[in-house]
Amino acid sequence: MERSAIDPITLEIWWSRVVAIADEAATTLVRTAFSTIIRESNDYCVVLLNAVGETIAECRAGIPAFAAIMGVMTRSVLAKYPVGTWQPGDCVITNNPWIATGHLPDVAMVTPIFREDVLVGFCATAAHVPDIGGTPNMGVTELISEGVLVPPIRMYRAGERNDDMLNLFLSNVRLPDQVLGDLNAQIAAHDVCRRRALEFLSDTGNADFTALSAAVQAKAEKVMRLAIAAIPDGVYRSEMRADGVEGQETVIACAITVAGDSMTVDYSGSSPQVQHGINCTINYTTAYTIYPIKILLDPQTRRNHGSYAPIQVVAEHGSILNAKFPAPVMARHLTGHLLSCAVYQALAEALPDRVIADSGGSPALRVQFAGRGPDKEPFSLILFASAGMGASARADGLSTTAFPSNSGGGSIEALEVTAPLLFNKKEYRTDSGGAGRHRGGLGQDIEVQNIAGSPLRVALLGDRERNPALGVLGGRPGELSRVVFDDGTKASLKSVRALAADGRVTLSFAGGGGFGSPGKRATEAIASDITNGFITPERALDDYGFHLGARTDAE
């Protein structure tokens, strides 16, 4: 069928169904994965692509920004393994940061979908495995120290597993059983995607995905172009500062040019790449630029290759946003997550009623606990917990909500079963949201106790230690992040510390920035915040000039 022959009702039904295919495959991945990073924290992505490696449908859970990378990754794999070389039952994997999602722990897979010996599409996934070897810390100065680098290589060929490759890979990670379990979960997700895709073609009478792919991509591109065209032409700028490493701040310079129905985001002038793992590959930079623009301008249309076509992302080669191989990139999120803030601060002038203030979790604070449990078996757990989101023109920022990563915190019970840790406290962090007409979302305080019976390693990867989440249009910044051990010492958010047996550490996550002048906040909202414990009376007086006994606007 030609795309013009697909009537609107049929297109809506078919489009919904292919998205459901990606969602079902994603559910399979989550329910069969071994590690809590996938099962509890949703650090994965699943997409269905056409025969040339362009996304048709993307799962709606997981890490949404990764979806923008999956097509680029698949087309890179096809450059090594051209379309004519694929067979049913093939599977190519890679974790090359310049091909896949930007750092080594994310393993990407691509498998073909054949119908009657004709290649009609691909399924691609990316998932964060619990260990990738190496010595991941901020002292690492090159990629090779961060873990095992896997170039695009066939894990399966015509249904036969490449055990030699797999054994070599698993011999270089600390948790081979968990890693293999997660790889097998990805394989299971691919099988579900393949079977459901073939069922779709059979049920609809389509020979392949050519017509549907063209139709949904054209629709997504058209809507995005209309949204861009509604912004006045011009150049919109911002500059963000991050804590950097060893006291050397990094700068993100952002210039967004709107010309008709297209947009260019140029990061020229940003800091050069550094000898620590906060560098980004251009894939990652592009993904975390396009995603916040997509949800700002067109939050309703289902994402696919067409959504990204009107937006070009530029960064100087050798900069912190387009690092050269073999730069370390382990903690690339500490730079990449800030791009949403840079984009929204730049567009605040043009779209003041739609942007949000900086989020405390942009970038996210990640904490890895590793060591040996009471049974002397090794364990490794990465805590994915959320900070406060920035406020908007319509409402206060969401508290303890991940943005822009969409990763989940997971249940405490599941984490405690997996690792010899006891979570003594997990609660909202009072006074952490930035003041404004609308208050920034609250961060949280988490106290973790080591019950392993021996010291553990605590690796901290965070920012917002000196540069808070900024407010917008007069809103004030949120509170900074901090980590305090039970001896009273504060730890750098880019450090590795030992946690003694029975020792405790308190992790305080940053608050989001406020929106608008604090003087315009409704007094009943301030009184409600005090009643709910979101702010103290002292902070209400300092930020808003509000006395607890004063009459509210509602009264």
- Return the pLDDT at 354: 97
* Contact (Cβ atoms closer than 8 angstroms) between residue 339 and residue 289: yes
* Contact (Cβ atoms closer than 8 angstroms) between residue 433 and residue 473: no
φ/ψ region of 255 (left if φ > 0, alpha if ψ in -120 to 50, else beta) reads: beta
* Contact (Cβ atoms closer than 8 angstroms) between residue 516 and residue 473: yes
- Return the pLDDT at 42: 92
Question: Could you read off the pLDDT of 188-247 as tens digits, one per residue?
Answer: 999 999 999 999 999 999 999 999 999 999 999 999 999 999 999 999 999 999 999 988
Q: What is the mean pLDDT of residues 255-277?
A: 97
Question: Could you read off the pLDDT of 503-537 as tens digits, one per residue?
Answer: 999 999 999 999 999 999 999 999 999 999 999 99
Q: What is the mean pLDDT of residues 265-274?
A: 98
Beta bridge partners of 369: 381, 458
- Return the pLDDT at 2: 47
**Domain layout of the chain by residue ranges:** 3-221, 356-521
- Return the pLDDT at 18: 98
Please list, residue by residue across 480-515, b when 16 or more beta carbons sit within 10 angstroms of its beta carbon and e when fewer do: bbbbbbeeeeebbbbebbebeeebbbebbbbbbbbb
Say yes or no to pLDDT of 551 above 80: no
Question: Could you read off the pLDDT of 287-297 as tens digits, one per residue?
Answer: 999 999 999 99
Question: Could you read off the pLDDT of 414-425 as tens digits, one per residue?
Answer: 899 999 999 999
Q: Sign of dihedral through CA atoms 270, 276, 281, 284?
A: negative
Say yes or no to pLDDT of 473 above 80: yes
Question: Could you read off the pLDDT of 429-467 as tens digits, one per residue?
Answer: 999 999 999 999 999 999 999 999 999 999 999 999 999
Average pLDDT taken over every residue of the chain: 95
- Return the pLDDT at 1: 44
Q: What is the pTM of this model?
A: 0.94
* Contact (Cβ atoms closer than 8 angstroms) between residue 255 and residue 339: no
Q: Quote the crossing angle between the two packed helices 67-80 and 282-297, to the nearest 10°.
A: 140
Question: Could you read off the pLDDT of 404-413 as tens digits, one per residue?
Answer: 988 888 889 9
Q: Where is 241: in which H helix or E strand?
A: strand 234-245
Question: Could you read off the pLDDT of 56-93 as tens digits, one per residue?
Answer: 999 998 898 888 899 999 999 999 999 999 999 999 99
Q: What is the mean pLDDT of residues 164-181?
A: 96
- Return the pLDDT at 3: 46
- Return the pLDDT at 141: 84
- Return the pLDDT at 4: 52
